[in-house]
Structure 1
Amino acid sequence: MSQVHFIVFANEKGGTGKSTTAVHTAIALAASGHRVGVLDLDSRQRTTTRYLENRDATMARLAEQLPQARYEVLDDQTEAGLTAAIDRLSATSDVIVIDTPGRDDPVARAAILRADTLVTPMNDSFVDLDLIGQVHPDTFKITKPSFYAELIWNSRTQRAKVTGKSVDWVVLRNRLQHIQSHNLARVGAAMDELARRVGFRVIPGLGERVIYRELFPKGLTLLDLKQLGEVGMGHIAARQELREMVAGLSIPSIIEQPGQLAAAG
């Protein structure tokens, strides 16, 4: 059995589009032919699980099969429970996407240690940037990494010692505005500076579009254009945005089979 690639979505702040991004990534990988497992660590909100349950309900209603991931929510909030859930999903998965809760959580920390690709979605603002680095109020230069950045650094170091493997930490700039501004440029410059100091990559994520909020009740994604009914240029642009984001994650299974994601959907 080939080794499973773990993609962990983690951010202690809520409202960053983390679950939406995790679901779209999972479905995009499933659409490209990969066996995908999804583990939802937030047993209270269950946003990711409800999204995928809605997708199952839509397939049943339409009597049509769509790309789907195998998924479960972690009810046993212990490290032993995490290990057992991962073992179950690993039996039938090439890639496992783990969505963590928007808070500091011991099980989430344990999941981060499993990550091959660690994804931190962030809104494009200094409020969200403060999660990983503090900014000088006058110069907008990074003064020091935050507690969260140090936590991720220590987790990556620990994992490297235990497994000998590196972790690809990717920060997604979600909800990028399409109109340039001084504030947007300052956020970008500060993020690039912090990336060099802390060691993560920055890639564009998903934009601020009403489209995403409309997809949840049916469990659909931007790869399901046939099921969306009337489709406009905004849908097409957003789908391309999604494809570029998933490609930017540089998941080995995608790299080894180029062109699959572009053909999906």
Structure 2
Amino acid sequence: MEPDESAFMDSLPDNTRKFGEGTMSPAETGLGGRARVIVVANEKGGSGKSTVAMHVAIALIKRGLRAATVDLDSRQRSLSRTIENRQAWAGRVGRNLEIPGHICFDGQIDYPSAAGHVTADQVLADTIETLMPTYDCIVIDTPGHDGGPMRQAHALADLLITPLNDSFVNLDALGSFDAETLGVTGLGHYAATVDEARGRRIAAGRQPADWIVLRNRLSMTASRNKRQVDAGLRALSAALGFRYVEGLAERVVYREFFLRGLTALDDLDEATIGARPTMSHVTARQEVEQLLAALNLEGTTGLSAPAEERARDAA
């Protein structure tokens, strides 16, 4: 028996199924255009996807844009938990912290059958389409494994951000290398997924995603491995057509932010962060700001004229 899409939607919690209830209608927003879809994805867990997604969403709101977040990782729920913690902390300290509109797919959307995958894909596509008129940007955080909705998210992406840990074990998902020359010798399984998604967009008459690979969770010390990974990513960038950007360092402060749902972009005062700010907080903010400048989040497509005007006003 094929899964029923309406039954799946009915099974979701009210805060997921009725997302947008009480917000402005598409007509009231005056946007008219389509939101820019930003997908943070990798088939490896522990690469910092949720941390990047949270910082991207808060950065967009601070720039005057209406941002929604979608968490496809129904098991880990890292992004959802971060947002819940942020809401709770804002109430506790009496601060008006920016909160994105949020959906977490708390049901099982990776159906085992081929027909089920089609249904799950359509649920995600319909959900994103519903958000389009109301928001300027939609940030999708994905699980660290392949699946129908994961692939559908890639096909929806205007901007695809792939955080990657600093090792050849992680680079193997993008491509294989000669052990002696470090030349690229083949296409990795995740690169094939992205290539397929880009092809789907081109076939539909849309521009392929702007793909950024983010070298993330960097160690603070120089090493031969770091130099080799850097060379490998530069070679892959030329072969696969992605932009290569230095990401975030491995800092304790990012892990500390989770319980309060904070980001490096929030006010660096004791009341907000719950402790005396340190140089680690300042360094993390500078690092995040440099990363955001390199990402070019708003891009040249996907934002309506009113959204661009709001972003300029916020700046």
TM-score relative to the length of structure 2: 0.78
Partner of 1:181: 223
Partner of 2:288: 242
**2:156 match: secondary structure:** coil
CA contact (8 A) 1:41 1:100 kept: yes
**Residue 58 in 1 paired to residue 89 in 2?**
yes
**Residue 233 in 1 paired to residue 275 in 2?**
no
Q: Deviations over 1:2-59 (max 9, x none)?
A: 2200000110100100111111111111111110000000111111111101111111
Partner of 1:205: 247
Runs of 4+ in 1 over 3 A off after TM superposition: 253-260
Shift of 1:254: 9.2
Gaps of 5+ in 1: none
Partner of 2:193: 151
Bigger Rg, structure 1 or 2: 2
Shift of 1:141: 2.2
Of the three residues 9, 22, 40, the one matched with 1:9 is: 40
Of the three residues 63, 69, 73, the one matched with 1:32 is: 63
Of the three residues 55, 80, 91, the one matched with 2:122 is: 80
Q: Deviations over 1:71-123 (max 9, x none)?
A: 01023521232123213433421000001100011111011100000110001
C-alpha distance in structure 1 between counterparts of 2:163 and 2:287, whole Å: 15
CA contact (8 A) 2:220 2:250 kept: no
Let me know the Cα RMSD of the aligned residues: 1.9
Partner of 1:98: 140
C-alpha distance in structure 1 between counterparts of 2:45 and 2:63, whole Å: 29
The number of residues matched between the two structures is 261
Gaps of 5+ in 2: 1-31, 110-119, 302-307
**2:74 match: secondary structure:** coil
Percent of aligned positions that are identical = 42
Q: Which amino acid in 1 is paired with 2:229?
A: V
**Residue 46 in 1 paired to residue 46 in 2?**
no
C-alpha distance in structure 2 between counterparts of 1:182 and 1:2, whole Å: 48
